[in-house]
Structure 1
Amino acid sequence: MKHFFARSIKKFTNRVSPALLAVILAAIISGILLFVPPINGLADNGDFYRSILSNGIYRLHTSYSQYSDYVIPKFGIMQYFNENQVSVLSSQSIFIQIALFLNKLFYSRTIFDIRFMGLVYYLFYLGGIYLLTKALVHPFRKISSYVLGLLIVFIFADSAYTLYFNSFFAEPGMLICMLYLCAAIISLARDVYQKKWTMISLFFVSTVLLITNKQQNAPLALSFIVVAVGLMFLPKFKARKLAVGLGITVVMLAGIGIYESIGSEIVGANSFQTFSHGVLLETGDPTKKIEKGGVDGQFALMRNENYYAKAYTTLDPSSKYVKKHLIDKTGFG
């Protein structure tokens, strides 16, 4: 019996690597959740319009409320000229356009099934799981390697992450890009592949896609530039330093570009929320605190207020008065 189990385990490890095992388990767990009825996903909290309208998708008139508590499985595909400009610049549009193409090819040219969005993320996600697991366990196929593969599935196949796939939120792209980023860096550090070009290219492509996925990610460019500088010190890599330097420049330009694309309304909302929910809350005497910063002490009355107020507010956050006397006098610092 002991020899039988030993032979069985050996045959299994010869045919199924830890990375492949992780992909199979993640595919089953996430696939059932995303594609087997009843469909699971996340509901629209009002943010979907930022990504769907500029990509030619719109909300259908259904029995669902405007901002439903349930996932919306079907959307309409515009059959006319799309006059909606891009409200938020984001690499998320790449994933949406791929999903739209597949939807029109295999399903419908007028109705968009949210599962095609989930399918696009799902396929990229499984690739990330494979590369990350392989990078962490290479070159071993020990019991500990399979345990690590199971741990990766336990963490990254959690529905807290994968439910986002069946939605128009930008978070799935961030998760997937981080999987590829980490896989690329770890692979380079552990010398998993003989040719380093593939992983270096994957690192820079994933970094740019991550930074441009959400405008809030712009400051991440600084962090990843520091990581990228480390690629300069890879052994036997002197002739390729120029290419790495070019990649670093592209990452920096991506960060600057996505930051500059932020609309004035979004900047105003973020600045106001930072002020009312940050600066004013983190002090015992908010009036004195803001007066030292050159802001009229009366704005302390706006403590804990939202830019988009549900009821009455002390002052209209979007008014010219607030912009002149508050927003223009506060900065990132």
Structure 2
Amino acid sequence: MKKFFKTCFINFSKWVSPALFGTILVALISGFILFVPPIHGLADNGDFYRSILSNGIYRLPTSYSQYSDYVIPKFGIMQYFNENNVSVLSSQTLFIQLALILNKLFYSKSIFTIQFMGLVYYLFYLGGIYLLINALVHPFRKLKHYFLALLIVLIFADSAYTLYFNSFFAEPGMLVLMVYICAAILSLARNVYSKRWPMITLFFVSTVLLVTNKQQNAPLALSFGVVAIGIMFLPHFKARRMATALGIIIVLLSGVGIYKSIGSEIVGANTFQTFSHGTLLETGDPTKKIERGGVDGQFALMRNENYYSKDYATLDPSSPYVEKHLMNKTGFGWIIRYYAANLKQFNNLLDLAAKDITAVQPRAVGDFVRNSNHKPGEQVKYFTFYSSLVGAFFPGKYAFDCLLAIGFIAVYSVGLYLDFKSNRYMGILRFFLIFGLMTIVIFVPIVSIVGDGDADLAKHLFLIPISLNMSLLVFVSDLINHTLWNTKGDKASV
């Protein structure tokens, strides 16, 4: 019997690589939830308008609310001049426009179905998953490498991630691009392909698109600039190091550009919510604390209020009075000084962020379409084992996240030292990838709290669980391949 299974596995591995095996499973699992009626996705929490209006898509009139409770499957396509300006500069437009082209070719020129948005992300995602698995298992086809492929499927086919595809949120583009970025660096590190320039190009293009996907991603240019430093250590690369340096500069400039493109209205909304959802969040009365900072104590009544309030607001955040007496006094410098004087409160907010790291699946919106016999706002449970498991057991403490990041960096710094000393590059590229991912884990919560308080915090932290999962997979791959501190077998030498 053992010989029979061994023979079957040998024949199977000849035709189906771990990368193909994992990609097929992701395709089947994700395709079922995205495209088999009744479809699933994410309902609109009010953010869709930033993406759809500037791309010529509008809501069809209905007799019911189109927010939060149910996924909207159909939208209208503008037939005439679009008078809406681009409210938010974003590379997400590229994905939406591609979905529009496919929709007009194969479905309708007047009605847009959200499944074409899902299809665009789905196809790009499968390509990234194939590259990622191939980079982590190359060149082996042993049984343990198929189990590694299954682990990748368990993590990245989780519905908490793929539900985003059938939506107009920016997060699915971030997920897809993050997979390509890590796959490109790992492919270079493990010498998967004979020519390096395709993976280098893929890395820089994906990085620029990721940084410009959302304005909140601007600081990520620094993290990925660090990752790109590892490329400079590739052998026989002297003539192209200048091109790599130019690529790093472009990544940094893309971060500056997307930050500068933030409109005054968004700046005002972020400033207000940093105050109402950040500095005012404490168990006691914050009145005296904000008065010591020169702000009228009456504004403490605006705790937990949003800039775009759905209900009655204590004061209109966009009114001249609020702008003069609150907004003009609580800029970035004021926020920094406030948290410096109230470190315990800031630490509590960071712990709050740490709890939200595992909340990948948005809890405030539904995942089902109307008339699917599901309650308003009901959540999908299909293939969410991994995200549920992590959500139940991952410690919600910022200090733990920092220690975990330091641990990853320390482990891979040994490989960095050994490979640098031995003129090999795998450990060097791998270290800068892990280091860049860990800067996301450590600094994104700080930037999010300072920049927007706890408003939409889970969405702002979306790249953190992806960074941790990527680091985990790299670590498991190195253990399986026996390359954690010894990369000789991969022939990754200068």
- Provide TM-score, normalisation by structure 1: 0.94
1:34-183 superposed matches below 5 A: 34-67=34-67, 69-183=69-183
Q: Which shifted more, 286-295 or 37-46?
A: 286-295
Measured after TM superposition, the shift of residue 235 of structure 1 is 2.5
Alpha-carbon distance in structure 2 between the residues aligned to 1:239 and 1:142 = 38
- Conserved? CA contact 1:50–1:88, under 8 Å: yes
Distance 1:166 1:195 in 2: 35
CA distance, structure 1, for counterparts of residue 243 and residue 273 of structure 2: 41
Q: Which amino acid aligns with 1:318?
A: S
**Does the 8 Å CA contact 1:135/1:186 hold for their aligned counterparts?**
yes
Which amino acid letter does the alignment assign opposite residue 215 of structure 1? Q
The total of aligned residue pairs comes to 333
Query: Which runs of 5 or more structure 2 residues have no equivalent in the other structure?
Result: 337-494
The aligned counterpart of 2:199 is 199
Identity %: 78
Rounded to whole Å, the distance in 1 between the matches of 2:157 and 2:64 is: 29
The answer to whether structure 1 residue 13 and structure 2 residue 13 are counterparts is yes
Which deviates more from structure 2 when the two are superposed, residues 119-128 or residues 105-114? 105-114
Task: Give me the whole-angstrom Cα distance separating, in 1, the residues matched to 2:285 and 2:61.
Answer: 49
- Work out whether residues 95 and 121 of structure 1, in 8 Å CA contact, stay in contact via their aligned partners in 2: yes
Q: Distance in 2 between matches of 1:313 and 1:117?
A: 35
Q: Structure 1 unaligned runs (5+)? A: none
User: 1:296 offset after TM fit, Å?
Assistant: 3.4
CA displacement, residues 275-294 of structure 1 (integer Å, 9 cap, x when unaligned): 12211225856334334434
Q: Distance in 1 between matches of 2:136 and 2:297?
A: 54
Q: Give the 3 Å change call, closer, same or farther, for CA 314–94 of structure 1 in structure 2.
A: same
1:24 matched residue in structure 2: 24
Q: Is the 8 A contact 2:225 2:251 kept in 1?
A: yes
Task: Specify whether residues 65 and 106 from structure 1 end up closer, same or farther in structure 2 by C-alpha distance, changes over 3 A only.
Answer: same
* Equivalent position SS for 1:245: helix
RMSD over aligned Cα, in angstroms? 1.7
How many Å separate the matches in 1 of 2:103 and 2:308?
35
Q: Which moved more, 1:306-315 or 1:162-171?
A: 306-315
Cross-structure match for 2:300: 300
Identify which of structures 1 and 2 has the higher relative contact order when contacts are C-alpha pairs closer than 8 Å and 6+ apart: 2
CA contact (8 A) 1:283 1:289 kept: no
For 1:47, what is the secondary structure of its paired residue? coil
Report the Cα offset of residue 50 of structure 1.
1.1
Of 28-37 and 40-49, deviating more is: 40-49
Letter in 2 for 1:167: S
- Asked if 1 retains the 8 angstrom alpha-carbon contact of 2:103 and 2:112, the reply is yes
Q: CA 1:173/1:204 → structure 2, altered by over 3 Å: closer, same or farther? A: same
Q: CA deviation at 1:79?
A: 1.1
Give CA deviations for 1:13-40 in whole Å, capped at 9, x if unaligned.
Answer: 1111111001100001111111111111
Question: Who is 1:262 aligned against?
Answer: 262
Q: CA deviation at 1:52?
A: 1.1
CA distance in 1, matches of 2:196, 2:123: 24
Q: Secondary structure at 1:326's aligned position in 2?
A: helix
Post-superposition Cα deviations, 1:55-91, rounded to whole Å, max 9, x if no partner, equal: 1111112354232522222111111111111111111
The secondary structure found in structure 1 opposite 2:75 is: strand
Amino acid of the residue matched to residue 80 of structure 1? Y
Report the equivalent of 1:323. 323
Question: Partner of 2:366 in structure 1?
Answer: none
Structure 1 CA distance for aligned equivalents of residues 64 and 34 of structure 2? 20
Q: Take 1:288 and 1:106, find their aligned partners in 2: how far apart are those partners?
A: 62
Distance 2:82 2:10 in 1: 58
> Which letter does structure 2 place at the counterpart of 1:54?
S
- Give the conservation status (yes or no) of the 8 Å contact 1:180–1:206: yes
The 8 Å contact of residues 26 and 153 in structure 2, kept in 1 or not, is answered as: yes
Name the CA shift for 1:315/1:69 in 2 (closer, same or farther; >3 Å): closer
Report matched runs for 1:276-287 at 5 Å: 276-282=276-282, 284=284, 286-287=286-287
Aligned equivalents of 1:192, 1:265: Cα separation in 2: 47
SS in 1 for 2:328: helix
Superposition TM-score, scaled by structure 2 size: 0.65
Quote how far apart the aligned CAs of 1:261 are. 1.2
Aligned residue type for 2:262:
I
Q: Give the aligned residue type for 1:98.
A: L
* Deviation larger for 302-311 or 258-267: 302-311
Conserved 8 A contact 1:48-1:169: yes
Query: In 2, distance between residues paired with 1:302 and 1:8?
Result: 66
Determine the C-alpha separation between the residues in 2 that align with 1:308 and 1:49.
13
Give distance in 1, aligned partners of 2:73 and 2:300: 44
Q: Which moved more, 1:243-252 or 1:232-241?
A: 232-241
Given that 1:118 and 1:166 are in contact with CA atoms closer than 8 Å, whether structure 2 keeps it comes out as yes
Q: CA deviation at 1:302?
A: 2.5
Structure 1 Cα separation of the partners of residues 228 and 253 of structure 2:
14
Contact persistence 1:211–1:218 (CA under 8 A) = yes
Distance (Å, rounded) in 1 between the aligned partners of 2:136 and 2:69: 39
| In structure 1, C-alpha distance between the alignment counterparts of 2:2 and 2:309, rounded to whole Å | 69
Q: 2: CA distance between counterparts of 1:328 and 1:141?
A: 61
Q: How many Å apart are 1:324 and its aligned residue? A: 2.3
The residue type paired with residue 69 of structure 2 is D
Preserved contact between residue 290 and residue 296 of structure 2 (Cα < 8 Å): yes
2:66–2:72 CA contact under 8 A, matched in 1: no
User: C-alpha deviations, 1:162-208, integer Å up to 9, x for none?
Assistant: 11111111111010011001111222222222222111111111111
Contact residue 302 and residue 314 of structure 2 kept, 8 A: yes
Partner AA of 2:94 in structure 1 = I
| Partner SS state of residue 112, structure 1 | strand
